[in-house]
Structure 1
Amino acid sequence: MSSVTQAPVTVPGAKGHTDGAGAFVPVQTRDERLRSYDPSDFEVPTGREVNWKHTPVDKLGALFTDEAGPHGVIEVDVQAPQGLVQQRLTTGTAPRGEVFQPDDLISAIAWKQETEAPLLRIPAGAEYREPIVVNLTGTGGVAHAHVVVEAQANSHATVLLRHAGTAHHAQNVEIIVREGAHLELITVQQWDDEAVHAASHQARVDRDATLRHVVVSFGGGVVRVNPSVELAGTGSRAELYGLSYSDAGQHLESQVYLHHKGAETSGDVLYKGALQGAAARSVWIGDVLIGPDAVGTDSYEANRNLVLTDGARAESIPNLEIETGDIRGAGHASATGRFDDEQLFYLQARGIDEEEARRLVVLGFLAEIVQKIGVPALEAELFAAIEEELALEVAR
């Protein structure tokens, strides 16, 4: 297993007097970042790096230390149908490391500290109607995890990761979607207010397979969930959705990377967030790379944010890189704003008071993501959680 990989950072043929001293080009995209299984290959972030400059790194200090924490910080309960394969994978035991390569210090430390990574394997051809639920409850302290989820050929399943309690949690999730499989992976963050959660999700989707990946972040002081998906096989598809509700003092972040590598691939990225309260923050960075062999690609990414109160701030940065002209379509969009006055006027003109009108606008805005989840009980729970957030704002 190669320890370090990094794309070149100089431009061939560049000249110093026109391109800057030494023609140095800083790392900008996810594909160019250093990757290594050794934490010592990474420096501790200062907050000036391109992948950290929107993150409150001062609050992540415990996760930058390469030390084993106490056992049992995260209590794990798995609710799984019969036939699901569960194993523990030491470093070097397949399929651990087949897809995942740490691309920052936290993910490298989590890789090293998790000596036996849990594997959830959906057998070939299996179809599970009920979700596989993994309940992760923090009890305080620092915890590291590397989880492998493998959907074997032509299987169909939903995996739900639920986070609650409190911890400083560094988490890697390695996702392998084999040929013809359909996997939905949902990660829900409902941590206590003081929790810190930094997660790196890396996935590969093979020929004619589909991954639906959903990030739902409501609780936690700092939550940073970064999904990276490679559409490797011909005809593979990714649907990457996100929902966040940032309250006073919360920082909720996702840096999304979708790499169209194979031919005839398709991608749909949509993240939506609502923000309310002083110093409520959200960050979304979306990188889409359509590689030179990804002919026939159809890809679109969008981020929408609704700012409900003064003092809240959303940062939204979409990026699109295309290396072939033979595609069906590609685009990106971003919008952040307050309530639509016309919508409020329309509702109030029909006898709905302002408070109820605002509630309906927020619910309607976020419902698009909730309804994509496909797990009725979770959808109902999330609508109730949105209602609770709105009620808190009204009570202030």
Structure 2
Amino acid sequence: MTTTTQAPPVVPGSTAHSDGAFVPVQTRSERPASYDPADFEIPSGREVNWKYTPVAKLAPLFVDEAGPHGTMTVTVSAPSTVEQSELRIGESPRGDVFIPEDRPAAIAWTQETVAPLMRIPAGVELDEPIVIELAGDGGLAHAHVVLEAMPNSRGTVVFRHSGSAWHAQNVEIIVRDGAHLEVVSIQQWSDDAVHLSSHQARVDKDATLRHVVVSFGGAIVRVNPSVELAGAGSRGELYGLSYSDAGQHLESQVYLHHKGPHTKGDVLYKGALQGRGARSVWIGDVLIGPDATGTDSYEANRNLVLTDGARADSIPNLEIETGDIAGAGHASATGRFDDEQLFYLQARGISEDEARRLVVLGFLSEIVQKIGLPALEGELIAAIEAELTLELGS
């Protein structure tokens, strides 16, 4: 299946686009999609969705050839009530929601001929999370995973990534009427890992999706969630945390599409950066469609730069196609330590290093606490502490 974007009409007396024959996609909703990798050219870095990504370092993930398999060890831990099966291309619900929007995602779609399905049955409330662990051994690996929460079910799925890999990954998420699903994706790769992940979700009537991205490790990590609030009264909560060290590139391009009426959206991503060449990129797009009356939506990105030589790019975008909404807004801020906060803590006998530690923990723990799994929250707080130890040099 292929969708195309028509070029805008030529207005008499107008001049050609400054990029010549190349006319970039201007809005998130115009982006083309296809299951065929051949429909996507190898990115040059001029494309709007690759503009901030170091595409020259991603060459293996742009090649549409049969590569080595078995380079990713996958371990699944799930309650017995969870239904697990496999879906070939063309077998529903695979493809009911997901349509690749870039070349690596299309390649992963075709390379993963049999995709695992994790389904929470109707009315079931899981007392333990589904945990999917993926450990790389340095090779090239592709994946497509389908998660389905049936009507009025409730559960949590945790992805844990570690080791070294060149990994292109698709995650397809379907949240049926009245269901509540939480998806947490944790990136703790080795320093040389490259990970491009596309998450696409549909949330039906009166259902909720809470989606959390946590990125610490890896050379280049790009996790892009795209959520469609399709049903009346549906809710999307999209949260993210990143901690970028010297030479790391951590990126998320977030898309929240309010399609049904009376939908609610909350997007909050926070990042900390330290070390020369540390880089984070956040692009947030919210579309409130013409039928999304009564929508209430807000997106924000906050970044804390801890050392010289680090850079955070933050770009919020908002499209509104109806005037009948409850509210909509966006915000972005990037800065260094608040000197007043540090002074306040030091004036009470706290050392400068400890004061800096407390400020960063307080800044990032807001996202950690939204996960709702105490053991995992404690583990992530410890990971932040370990990053801070490197920054403080202790």
Instruction: Using structure 1 for the length normalisation, give the TM-score.
Output: 0.97
Amino acid of the structure 2 residue aligned with 1:317: I
Q: Is the 8 A contact 1:176 1:205 kept in 2?
A: yes
User: Structure 1, residues 258-311: CA drift from partner, whole Å, max 9, x if none?
Assistant: 000000000000000000001000000000000000000000000000000000
User: Structure 1, residues 226-282: CA drift from partner, whole Å, max 9, x if none?
Assistant: 000000000000000000000011000000000000000000000000000010000
Which residue is 1:4 aligned to?
2
Q: Cα distance, 1:29 vs. partner?
A: 2.1
Aligned-partner SS, 2:270: strand
Amino acid of the structure 2 residue aligned with 1:237: R
Q: Cα distance, 1:20 vs. partner?
A: 4.4
Amino acid of the structure 1 residue aligned with 2:129: P
What pairs with 1:16-31 in structure 2 (closer than 5 Å)? 16-18=12-14, 20=16, 26-31=24-29
User: Structure 1, residues 110-149: CA drift from partner, whole Å, max 9, x if none?
Assistant: 0000000010011111100211100110011100000000
Aligned pairs, number: 392
Amino acid of the structure 1 residue aligned with 2:391: E
Gaps of 5+ in 2: none
Q: Cα distance, 1:59 vs. partner?
A: 1.3
Distance 2:300 2:40 in 1: 31
Which residue is 1:145 aligned to?
143
Which residue is 1:331 aligned to?
329
Which residue is 2:121 aligned to?
123
What pairs with 1:292-303 in structure 2 (closer than 5 Å)? 292-303=290-301
Q: Cα distance, 1:33 vs. partner?
A: 1.0
Distance 1:16 1:178 in 2: 49
Runs ≥4 residues deviating over 2 A:
6-9, 18-26
User: Structure 1, residues 62-119: CA drift from partner, whole Å, max 9, x if none?
Assistant: 1000122222111011010011111110000000000000000000000000000010
Which residue is 1:256 aligned to?
254
Distance 1:98 1:287 in 2: 22
Distance 1:378 1:17 in 2: 60
Aligned-partner SS, 1:9: coil
User: Structure 1, residues 357-381: CA drift from partner, whole Å, max 9, x if none?
Assistant: 0000000000110100101111000
Q: Cα distance, 1:25 vs. partner?
A: 5.7
Q: Cα distance, 1:393 vs. partner?
A: 1.3
Aligned-partner SS, 1:287: strand
Q: Is the 8 A contact 1:9 1:24 kept in 2?
A: no
Which residue is 1:341 aligned to?
339
What pairs with 1:1-396 in structure 2 (closer than 5 Å)? 3-11=1-9, 15-18=11-14, 20=16, 26-395=24-393
Gaps of 5+ in 1: none
Distance 2:293 2:233 in 1: 11
Percent identity over the alignment is: 74
Q: Cα distance, 1:31 vs. partner?
A: 1.5
Amino acid of the structure 2 residue aligned with 1:365: F
Instruction: Using structure 2 for the length normalisation, give the TM-score.
Output: 0.97
